[in-house]
Amino acid sequence: MPFTANFFLDDVFRPAALTAGINKISNRYGRVEEMGLMPARPVRLRHIAIEERNGVLTLLPTATVGSPGTVGVRGKRKIRSFMIPHIPHDDVVLPEEVQGIRAFGSEGDLAALSDVLSLHLGSMRDKHAITLEYLRMGALKGIILDADGSTLYNLYAEFAITPKTIAFDLSNAGTDVKAKCLELKRHIEDNLLGEFMTEFHCFVSPEFFDAFTGHAKVVKAWENWQQGEALRSDQRKGFTFAGVTFAEYRGQATDPEGNVRRFIAAGEGHAFPVGTMQTFLTYFAPADFNEAHNTLGLYALCQAGTAQVRPRHRSAHPEQSPADVSPARHPRQGDRMSGQDEPSM
């Protein structure tokens, strides 16, 4: 059996068997992807157009026989165009990463170029995955941000909608939490505008979740249900109260400047309907490769073929230009909530 020297505990001449390798990777947050909330829709162009038609529904008055009837009023139509953001990502494998380098987790085998390429491509796909989750969470909140925090699209401004904020005031033991939940549900129901849904869901920060599940009225409502089982178990995946499922969401990522960006701010939550038909979509445009022009965009997180390896000078150059992504959502069907005492908007 080959041995490798243990330079830290002994001298270089004493052999030590390498028994295991530990590969540390960053957490991947993909709750929106897991729920299938924003299905992928491929397009052939780098922009999309969304047309809106406002239907007019009015009560019809009675009239005497023979009198003229009321005249129908046509709804107005609007069309909005959105450019799909381009998010390329390149990496490079230098000869120094392979030449004379021991393969990870082995005791004497040398690193293979294919293994190093696979490691780089896996890391690139993980970066695209967390970026897609970040964009989708932005769509749920109504404001889609770039990696540096700048605004790509403010969906509230695009659709001329005032955001709705409900202050739960969870620091006050006398707050009627059920009434707050009903207010949330009524707002979403009133703004479905002909859309379908199956349930109400809300992603909340850990601070909001702890304050909510620890609120006196919430605890009292659940303490007699199955002998308080819900209060003793971990309900962070989904805690249903007054018909709204509250789930803790801890997604975060590091931007290019090294700053950690939380997808949901502390003490806040964002509610949305589940089971809709066309409210949430993710559009994918063709990748920036010659062979991909005028073709349907591919879902890069599932299509390994979107990663290409091209020789560049002395190095292997893996490239990933996934189908450029643009999550879309109608911002009227969502609520922003705060666990602190703040006025509603």
For residue 13, pLDDT over 50 is answered with no
What is d(CA 248, CA 242) in angstroms, rounded to the nearest whole number? 17
154-193 in b/e burial notation, b at 16+ Cβ within 10 A? ebbeebebebbebbbbbeeeebebeebbebbbebbeebee
- Look over the chain and give the mean of its residue pLDDT values, rounded to a whole number: 78
Strand pairing partners for 272? Answer: 201
Q: What is the dihedral of CA 22, 27, 32, 35, to 10 degrees?
A: 40
pLDDT at 262: 94
**Number of DSSP helices (H) and strands (E) in the chain, helices first:** 7, 20
pLDDT at 52: 79
For residue 68, pLDDT over 70 is answered with yes
For residue 37, pLDDT over 60 is answered with yes
User: Collapsing DSSP states into helix, strand and coil, what is residue 81?
Assistant: strand
Higher pLDDT, 194 or 186: 186
Higher pLDDT, 46 or 204: 204
Contact 323, 70 (CB under 8 A): no
Higher pLDDT, 32 or 333: 32
What is d(CA 24, CA 12) in angstroms, rounded to the nearest whole number? 26
pLDDT digits (tens, 9 = 90+) for 280-311: 989 888 888 888 888 888 875 544 444 454 44
Q: Where are the alpha helices (DSSP H) in the chain?
A: 31-35, 113-141, 155-158, 177-190, 206-213, 216-222, 229-232
77 band by pLDDT with thresholds 50, 70 and 90: confident
272 contacts: CB under 8 Å, gap ≥ 6: 37, 140, 188, 201, 202, 280, 333, 334, 335
What is d(CA 38, CA 279) in angstroms, rounded to the nearest whole number? 8
What's the predicted TM-score (pTM) here? 0.79
Contact 168, 209 (CB under 8 A): no
For residue 21, pLDDT over 80 is answered with no
170: amino acid identity, one letter = L
Work out the average pLDDT over 22-45.
81
48: amino acid identity, one letter = I
For residue 326, pLDDT over 70 is answered with no
Work out the average pLDDT over 272-277.
91
Strand pairing partners for 83? Answer: 47
pLDDT digits (tens, 9 = 90+) for 131-183: 999 999 999 999 999 999 999 999 999 988 889 999 999 999 999 999 999 99
What is d(CA 22, CA 202) in angstroms, rounded to the nearest whole number? 36
Strand pairing partners for 315? Answer: 312
What is the secondary structure of 220-245 as a DSSP string? Answer: HHHTTGGGGHHHHS--TT-EEETTEE
What is d(CA 30, CA 53) in angstroms, rounded to the nearest whole number? 33
Q: How far is CA 239 from CA 213, 271, 287, in A?
A: 8, 13, 40
Distance of CA 200 to the CA centre of its chain: 17
Domain 36-52+87-338 has CATH 3.90.1690: yes
Where are the domains positioned within the chain?
36-52+87-338
pLDDT at 120: 82
1 band by pLDDT with thresholds 50, 70 and 90: very low
pLDDT at 343: 27
Work out the average pLDDT over 123-128.
86
